[in-house]
Amino acid sequence: MKKLLVVVLIIFCVGIVRAQKTADLGIWGGTGTSFGDMTQITLKSSLGVNYGAYLRYNINTRVAARLQVMNGSMKSEGFFDGNAWSFGPKNVTSLSLMGEVNFLRYLIGNAPTPFTTYLMGGVGVSMFPYDFDAVKLTPVVQYIDPTAKAGNVFALQIPLGFGVKYNLGKKFAVGMEVMMNKYLDDRLDDLDDPRSYEYIDANGNKTLQTYNTNGHNNDYAVYCGLHLCYKINLSRKACPVYEYE
């Protein structure tokens, strides 16, 4: 059974390599904001400028693998449990590996299908500063972790998104997309498990009641932007799989 699985995997990988003939190099620009524990967010003052680049490896006309780096400003103004709260602007840098699935058969330069909508998703990691400030937190939360300190955070993330892309001739394409990063860390908005508190029983014993974990928290970042990409030919001869005309 193991040998059969190995053979199938080798055939699958060889098929991908042989079928692959193009890749796309893209640049991305737009805006982003965060959604977390805060409410009544003032959207106009909570948008930051973000930019990035990606390399898309076209496995076939339906599926691609995409490596993307993003950088930019993240900030937000609003309330937490009736108390005013804001954070940032802080610089957020992320690296993501995603799969991209087209609803229509699509490659840059193929006239019969000049556009498509698509979905994408994968895994990644982000780096951002955690601006811990006990004085600022005191009137907002019930419990402040005495061991917490400011510093850079490396957070795992789950990126998900959708978009549309459209050919501009044989080599270029433009598109628009919306992407959401779900962070496996609760410190993007500088509110780390803000509803936690110390429960004191009748004997005076203290127990810390927590709600958020790395896998279960409310920190998200949402991006909306435009991208321009350029087709790179990886072989001299066109592959029949990609021929439409």
Q: What is the pLDDT of residue 236?
A: 59
Residue (of 42, 25, 43, 41) closest to 224 by Cα position: 43
Angle at CA 107, nearest 5°, toward 17 and 26?
90
Q: Please tell me the pTM assigned to this model.
A: 0.83
Q: What is the pLDDT of residue 111?
A: 74
Instruction: Give the pLDDT confidence of 80-136 residue by residue, as tens digits.
Output: 998 999 999 999 999 999 999 999 999 998 878 899 999 999 999 999 999 999 999
State which residues of the chain have pLDDT below 70: 1-20, 235-245
Q: Is 182 exposed, middle or buried (0-12, 13-18, 19+ CB in 10 A)?
A: middle
Strands 206-209 and 197-200 turn out to be antiparallel
Q: What is the pLDDT of residue 63?
A: 96
